[in-house]
Amino acid sequence: MSISPGSTTDRGLEGVVALESRICDIDGSVGHLVYAGYEIDDLARNSTFEDVVYLLWHGELPSRDARQDLSGQLRRTRTVPPSIVDLIDSAPSTASPMAVLRTAVSALGHEDAEVDDPSPEANRRKAIRLAARMPTIVAAISRAQAGKSPLAPHPDLSMAANFLYMLDGRVPGPKAERIFDACLILHAEHGLNASTFAGRVIAATMADMYGAITGAIAALKGPLHGGANLKVKEMLDEIRASGQDVEAYVMGKLARKERIMGFGHRVYKTIDPRATFLREMLSELSAEQGDMSWLDMSSTLMTVMGREKNLHPNVDFFSASVYALLGISGGLFTPIFAMSRVAGWSAHLLEQWDGNRLIRPRAAYVGPANRKISG
Supply the residues annotated as catalytic.
Answer: 265, 316
Choose between 250 and 347: whose C-beta lies nearer to ligand COA: 250
Q: Which of 335, 314, 341, 101 is nearest to 199 (CA)?
A: 341
Smallest distance, Å, CB 176 to ligand COA? Answer: 24
The DSSP result for 115-168, as a single string, is TT--SHHHHHHHHHHHHHHHHHHHHHHHHHHTT-PPPPP-TTS-HHHHHHHHHH
Q: Interface with ligand COA includes 135 (CB under 6 A)? A: no
Nearest distance, CB of residue 206 and ligand COA, angstroms? 30
Q: Which residues of 178-200 are buried (b: 16+ CB within 10 A; e: fewer)?
A: bbbbbbbbbbbbbbbbbbbbbbb
Sequence-ordered list of residues with C-beta below 8 angstroms from that of 127, at least 6 positions apart, any chain: 57, 209, 342, 346, 347, 349, 350
Mention every residue, 6+ apart, whose C-beta is less than 8 A from residue 172. Answer: 161, 164, 165, 180
**Residue 180 vs 263, nearer CB to ligand COA:** 263
Q: Is 40 in the site for ligand COA (CB under 6 A)?
A: no
Q: Using DSSP, state whether 341 is helix, strand or coil.
A: helix
Q: Which is nearer to ligand COA, 286 or 314 (CB)?
A: 314
Amino acid identity of residue 189, one-letter, is E
Within positions 9 to 38, which residues make up the interface with ligand COA, using CB under 6 A?
Answer: 12
- Which range binds ligand COA by CB under 6 A, 54-62, 155-163, 263-271, 279-287? 263-271
Q: Does 314 bind ligand COA (CB under 6 A)?
A: yes
Q: Which segment (20-28, 310-318, 327-335, 362-370) binds ligand COA by CB under 6 A?
A: 310-318
Site mask, ligand COA, residues 209-228, x = CB under 6 A? ---------------xx--x
For residue 3, the tally of other CB atoms under 10 A from its CB is: 12
What is the contact mask toward ligand COA in residues 61 to 100, using x (rule: CB under 6 A)? Answer: ----------------------------------------
259 binds ligand COA (CB under 6 A): yes
Q: With binding defined as CB under 6 A, does residue 269 bind ligand COA? A: no
265 touches ligand COA (CB under 6 A): yes
Q: Which of 99, 207, 311, 359 binds ligand COA (CB under 6 A)?
A: 311
Nearest residue to ligand COA on Cβ basis: 264
| Helical H segments across the chain, by residue range | 40-46, 49-58, 64-76, 82-90, 97-108, 120-145, 159-168, 174-187, 194-203, 209-220, 228-242, 246-255, 273-289, 293-309, 315-325, 333-353
Residues that bind ligand COA (CB under 6 A): 12, 224-225, 228, 259-266, 309, 311, 314-316
